[in-house]
Amino acid sequence: MFPNSTILGPLFWIVMGGLYTISFTGFYYWITDSIIKMNWWKWLLSILWFLGLNITIAGGFTLFGEKEIRAGFWFLSVFGGVFIVLGVGLWRLLTSR
Amino acid sequence: MDEDNNKFNRRNFIKTAGLASGVIALAGAAGAGLAAGSNKDSYTGWGRTAYGEDQFFNRKPFLVDTPTYDKVGETRRIAFIEDLFKRNGELSRLLFPRGDETPLWSFDEGVEKLPEPLKTYYLEHPDALGEFRKAIEKSQEQAGTWDKYKHKYLLADAWSTAHASPIGGQGAFPPQPHGNPEESDFRGVNEETLPLKSPAHGSSLIKQIAYSFGASLVGIAKVKEDWVYQGYMRGVGKIDFEVPEHWKYAVVIAVPHEWDSMYANPTYGTSYDAYSKLRFIAGKLEVFLKEIGYAARSHVPPTSYEIAMPPLAIDAGLGEQGRHGVLVTPELGANTRLAAVTTNMLLEPDKPIDIGIKEFCSKCKICAEECPSGAISFTDKPENVIRGYQRWNINQDKCFTIWNSVATSHARGCRVCLAVCPYSRKNNWIHKIVREVDPRDPTGLFSSAMLAMQKKFFTYPGGQEYLPAPDGNNKTFGEAPDWLMTEEWFNI
């Protein structure tokens, strides 16, 4: 990540860990304040969806980094599209009574 | 009331911060991906080589007792004339003798007038002679058109020539052996040999030493007679010989080409970068083995071999042979160049591996589709039986014609098949997932899905496009690195 530093890489991932923690805490508060009733598998699906979205974005940009621009766009379009559809499905599942 | 309000605000703040953090985390994932893709540290073989860290693939789950090549009939050793470079060298000496001597043979005289063993070879392979003639014509065309390209490819050509400089002539390293292997391989050997603790100790030591000299991958195999050339021995000349007894084991070493230039084949890549590295590694390993009391002989590219490298490397567990005839390793893909050192030091050989390359290649065919010479087979399964072994066989003569056709100063070769191989990818997380999952999937569905993506997502110019005009447009598979692009540094 930071080729000329041995400290910035670990710091980056510590910050990323903090960001994920805050985002899940915020999501938890938001859910508990809403009418959505969650159970363990709904939490699991939500976490997997967000994780998958992150991996998709990282994957596309990895290909950009390799100068495989066309492959990166295809990757983001196909898997990003899949995750948008899955996200809509997941939302409907979470909000269904 | 104030307390309630504060609670409410704090809760709202965390909710808002959570949303913002999620968005920033996604941006962080994009940044991490971008860094992983562009990071030069993920070019295997050019980083932590000295400590063996480039041989990162865990081979244990894929070890097999029998190598993955198929023995289907009576086997025999490889006649030296079956080697393209040896054969072409013999023919070139007849056609273009040194000085002002008149040619000893011309194409118009026909095959019958060729001396043995060329005559027998070309009678059995009539197309090969025509292809060689075509290669010479292309070479002359290439020389004529080089003026058009010499500025554009100046840096690539100079870089290639610089890498080639330790290969030929009196300053070559390692020096060519002189005399019988029973003399030359023992010349300079320390008379005192300490007792080795065990063959396993010997293997571990030699591997670590080879890594320290710059080898990316190291494997050890017993020398199998079938892989030893017949009819020519360096230091002796044309001679039929038995495999020397002291060639008990071969330490097989592999390094990749510099990755960015390799992707930019055929015009920006060269074979000589890997060749010169291999020669230094193998040559130094030969000296090391002799210093600790063992006979040793290095077998190095481009032509200083008595042993065929790919099958030896398969025996040594480094990888498997692909459709393009090149060794495919889990770490380097087809971007794998090989050398070996034969020795009588007692070593523990490695086991061969089966990571499903044959099954992968039977589906992929990208190298065959992209080969500018059409030398690579399209058959689903290996159909050729070569000296008793069934495998895909490339048409070496057609391949050589293209070497003489691309826009390089002279026959610098073409490594498009190495560059386009889906296994020849960087060691970053996205390719690592594929590299680890594919050999573990017995259904083959994963590789089929990856191949579908590979063919749809990635750009392939198509075989003819790699050639100069009028046949093509001097396309390269990958973008040339800026440090090899003359226009980045000079006004042309």
ipTM here: 0.94
β-strand partners of B218: B253
Minimal Cα–Cα distance from A42 to chain B, Å? 18
Residue A15 sits at the chain B interface (C-beta within 8 Å): yes
Residue of chain B nearest A75, judged by CA positions: B457
Q: CB count, 10 Å around CB of B487?
A: 12
Residue of chain A nearest B13, judged by CA positions: A26
DSSP characters for B224-237?
A: PGGGBEES-BTTTB
Contacts of A4 in chain B (CB under 8 A): none
Residue A47 sits at the chain B interface (C-beta within 8 Å): no
Minimal Cα–Cα distance from A60 to chain B, Å? 7
How far apart are alpha carbons B45 and B427 in whole angstroms? 10
Predicted model pTM: 0.93
pLDDT at B75: 96
For residues A46 and A91, the answer to whether their CB atoms sit within 8 Å is: no
For residues A68 and B430, the answer to whether their CB atoms sit within 8 Å is: no
Q: Are A23 and B33 a contacting pair at CB < 8 A?
A: no
Contacts of A55 in chain B (CB under 8 A): 29
How far apart are alpha carbons B97 and B109 in whole angstroms? 17
| pLDDT (tens digit per residue) in A27-55 | 999 999 888 889 999 999 999 999 999 99
Does residue B471 sit within a domain? Answer: yes
Of B277, B278, B279, B257, nearest to B268 (Cα)? B257
Residue of chain B nearest A18, judged by CA positions: B21
Burial of B470 (0-12, 13-18, 19+ CB in 10 A): exposed
Contacts of A63 in chain B (CB under 8 A): 37, 430, 457
Minimal Cα–Cα distance from A49 to chain B, Å? 13
* Res. B90: pLDDT tops 60: yes
pLDDT at B99: 80
Cα angle vertex B252, ends B250, B258, to 5°?
A: 160
Burial of B145 (0-12, 13-18, 19+ CB in 10 A): middle
Cα angle vertex B331, ends B328, B335, to 5°?
A: 50
Q: Are A23 and B39 a contacting pair at CB < 8 A?
A: no
Tokens coding B73: 């009939």
How far apart are alpha carbons B169 and B51 in whole angstroms? 32
Place B371 in a pLDDT band, splitting at 50, 70 and 90. very high
Q: CB count, 10 Å around CB of B291?
A: 12
Tokens coding A56: 């998709």
* Res. B6: pLDDT tops 70: no
Strands B229-230 and B296-299: unpaired
| pLDDT (tens digit per residue) in B439-459 | 999 999 999 999 999 999 999
β-strand partners of B338: B254
| pLDDT (tens digit per residue) in B31-49 | 999 999 998 888 998 777 8
Contacts of A64 in chain B (CB under 8 A): 33-34, 37
Residue A36 sits at the chain B interface (C-beta within 8 Å): no
Mean pLDDT of A60-83: 96
Of B410, B164, B157, nearest to B275 (Cα)? B164
pLDDT at B3: 59
pLDDT at B8: 65
Minimal Cα–Cα distance from A97 to chain B, Å? 24
* Res. A22: pLDDT tops 70: yes
Of B162, B35, B186, nearest to A58 (Cα)? B35
Tokens coding A25: 């805490």
Tokens coding A34: 């809403």
Domain that holds residue B222: 60-426+459-488
Tokens coding B428: 């970053």
| pLDDT (tens digit per residue) in B479-490 | 999 999 999 999
Tokens coding B300: 């190095």
| pLDDT (tens digit per residue) in B167-184 | 887 789 999 999 999 999
The proportion of chain B whose per-residue pLDDT surpasses 90, expressed as a percent, equals 87
The CA-atom distances, in angstroms, between B286 and each of B45, B230, B427, B459 are: 21, 23, 30, 43
Place B225 in a pLDDT band, splitting at 50, 70 and 90. very high
For residues B341 and B246, the answer to whether their CB atoms sit within 8 Å is: no
Region of poorest pLDDT, from B4-13, B317-326, B443-452? B4-13
Nearest to B26 among A22, A57, A65 (CB): A57
For residues A26 and B16, the answer to whether their CB atoms sit within 8 Å is: yes
Q: Are B33 and A60 a contacting pair at CB < 8 A?
A: yes
Does residue B228 sit within a domain? Answer: yes
Does residue B175 sit within a domain? Answer: yes
Does residue B444 sit within a domain? Answer: no
For residues B178 and B235, the answer to whether their CB atoms sit within 8 Å is: yes
Cα angle vertex B12, ends B9, B17, to 5°?
A: 120
Contacts of A20 in chain B (CB under 8 A): 21, 25
Mean pLDDT of B410-439: 94
- Per DSSP, the three-state class of B339 is strand
CA pseudo-torsion sign B28, A69, A80, B37: negative
Tokens coding B163: 């890498």
For residues B418 and B326, the answer to whether their CB atoms sit within 8 Å is: yes
Mutate to test the interface with A, among B11, B13, B15 (most CBs of A within 10 A): B15
| Encoded amino acid at B118, one letter | L
For residues B467 and B138, the answer to whether their CB atoms sit within 8 Å is: no
Q: Are A61 and B456 a contacting pair at CB < 8 A?
A: no
Q: Are B32 and A65 a contacting pair at CB < 8 A?
A: no
Residue of chain B nearest A31, judged by CA positions: B15
Residue of chain B nearest A1, judged by CA positions: B35
Contacts of B428 in chain A (CB under 8 A): 62, 66
Contacts of B432 in chain A (CB under 8 A): none
Place B78 in a pLDDT band, splitting at 50, 70 and 90. very high
Place B98 in a pLDDT band, splitting at 50, 70 and 90. confident
For residues B272 and B168, the answer to whether their CB atoms sit within 8 Å is: no
Residue A75 sits at the chain B interface (C-beta within 8 Å): yes
> Between A and B, how many residue pairs show a Cβ–Cβ distance under 8 A?
123
Residue A38 sits at the chain B interface (C-beta within 8 Å): no
Q: What does chain A come to in residues?
A: 97
Does residue B54 sit within a domain? Answer: no
pLDDT at B2: 56
Nearest to A29 among B14, B26, B38 (CB): B14
Does residue B139 sit within a domain? Answer: yes
Please identify which residue in the block is written with the tokens 């409907």.
A92
Mutate to test the interface with A, among B430, B431, B454, B479 (most CBs of A within 10 A): B430
Q: Are B15 and A33 a contacting pair at CB < 8 A?
A: yes
| pLDDT (tens digit per residue) in B349-364 | 999 999 999 999 999 9
Average pLDDT, chain B: 94
Contacts of A49 in chain B (CB under 8 A): none
Q: How far from the centroid of its chain's Cα atoms is residue B206's Cα? A: 22
How far apart are alpha carbons B356 and B320 in whole angstroms? 8
Region of poorest pLDDT, from B95-99, B320-324, B386-390, B405-409? B95-99
B→A interface, C-beta within 8 Å: 11, 14-19, 21-22, 24-26, 28-41, 426, 428-430, 453, 456-459, 478-479
Please identify which residue in the block is written with the tokens 């840096």.
B155
Does residue B478 sit within a domain? Answer: yes
Does residue B70 sit within a domain? Answer: yes
How far apart are alpha carbons B250 and B207 in whole angstroms? 12
Contacts of B30 in chain A (CB under 8 A): 57-58, 60-61
Please identify which residue in the block is written with the tokens 């996205």.
B430
- Per DSSP, the three-state class of B338 is strand
pLDDT at B175: 92
Mean pLDDT of B196-212: 97
Q: What is the CA radius of gyration of chain B?
A: 26
Contacts of B39 in chain A (CB under 8 A): 1, 3, 65
Residues 6+ apart with CB under 8 A from B128: B121, B122, B397
Tokens coding B260: 């960015």
Q: Quick one: which H or E segment has residue B274?
A: helix B272-291
Place B11 in a pLDDT band, splitting at 50, 70 and 90. confident
Of B192, B204, B295, nearest to B249 (Cα)? B295
Q: CB count, 10 Å around CB of B137?
A: 13
Mutate to test the interface with A, among B26, B366, B432 (most CBs of A within 10 A): B26
How far apart are alpha carbons B22 and A29 in whole angstroms? 14
